[in-house]
Structure 1
Amino acid sequence: MSNAAKGAASLVTVRNAYPHETGLLAEIGYAAWLAAVASWGESTAALAPAVRQSYERFCHEHRSLILVGETNVAVAGWGARENRRNEISDLWVDPDHQGQGVGSAVLAALEAEIVGLGYETAELHTHARNIPAIELYKRRGYRISSLSDRYSPSLDRDVATVFMTKELADVR
């Protein structure tokens, strides 16, 4: 699959992940998580090993579900639909590439997959304190449906989570 979007600094191409990229993709997810959590002022030391392992396991086990966003210079982010339905389970952009259209390009490609399966809405969850992600999703047409605590296996605790939805009629 390929999709191009004009980013602030470079062209973004979206494609399927390659087998040899799972380690790199895990590192991008982990770095994005670290940057987000650090911006909230929360310590990551106790959680970091389990979170890193969670990204490595996910990227290895679900590589065929991952769409990669790359600029003309590097793999810059990725997203996935873990359940293969209309829920976007992951969207991670390397902190050095945030704000360059990578997240928007990957999100658009995931939405196109969802439309191709016949769904009329896309769904996702994100941490309630992840304001940059929430704002990205709002700019892309998502609306907050609910706020709740949701168990995170990699963190082994409940996390305040925002559930968001988008009508995909515009994507068709």
Structure 2
Amino acid sequence: MSTVSAETSAPATAVTIRPATEQDYDAATTLFRSTMGAEYLLGRDLWGAVCTAPTHRALMAQDAAGTVVAMAIVVVSDRIRLAAGTRRRRYHLDELIVAPARRRQGIGRALLEHVKVLAQQDAPSYIIVNCDFMNVAARRSYESAGLYLVRQSADRFEVAFS
């Protein structure tokens, strides 16, 4: 658990960043609904799996009053490239959600910095983030945090089996 002061031009907001637990289900649901709509239903079993799986880092940011104001979900995997002869730990920032009323206060940046520390401790590693090209605020946040654009692409192909 770490306490950081989120610094921006707005007043600093101190948040505590901690691992998510299954008890954070309601707070996570509220955060997801703030971006996906009021009808969104977060699967309780899936939330529990994200909180406990060794392949994931689920983080919650809470303010001084103990209210969860943001979260990050990171998928961690080994990236083995046989042709290059390398193996690095990949931290894929899958979700970074800040409560709408708490945006632009440095809270998302504080979560991102926490993820960077986790990845640095697990070197050799890297962080990857997929961001919609039209989401200018997110793009600027990632760039100001030291991430850089490696590819612009909206094309993605996959096949799923149930």
CA pair 122-79 structure 1, distance change in 2 beyond 3 A = same
Correspondence 1:1-172 to 2 at 5 A: 1-7=1-7, 8-34=11-37, 49=39, 52-53=40-41, 58-64=46-52, 65-73=57-65, 74-84=67-77, 85-151=90-156
Which structure 2 segments of 5+ residues have no match? 78-89
Identity in percent: 17
CA pair 152-110 structure 1, distance change in 2 beyond 3 A = farther
Residue 103 of structure 2 aligns to which amino acid in structure 1?
A: Q
More helix by share: 1
**What do you get for the CA RMSD once the two structures are aligned?**
2.6
Answer whether contact 1:111 1:122 (CA < 8 A) is retained: yes
Answer whether contact 2:25 2:44 (CA < 8 A) is retained: yes
Which structure 1 segments of 5+ residues have no match? 35-47, 154-172
Residue 25 of structure 2 aligns to which amino acid in structure 1?
A: T
Residue 34 of structure 2 aligns to which amino acid in structure 1?
A: A
Q: CA deviation at 1:122?
A: 1.7
Residue 71 of structure 1 aligns to which amino acid in structure 2?
A: D
Answer whether contact 1:104 1:140 (CA < 8 A) is retained: yes
- Find the aligned partners of 1:126 and 1:6 in 2 and give their Cα distance: 22
Q: TM-score, normalised by structure 1?
A: 0.68
Q: CA deviation at 1:75?
A: 0.7
Aligned residue-pair number: 138
> Which of the pair has more CA radius of gyration?
2
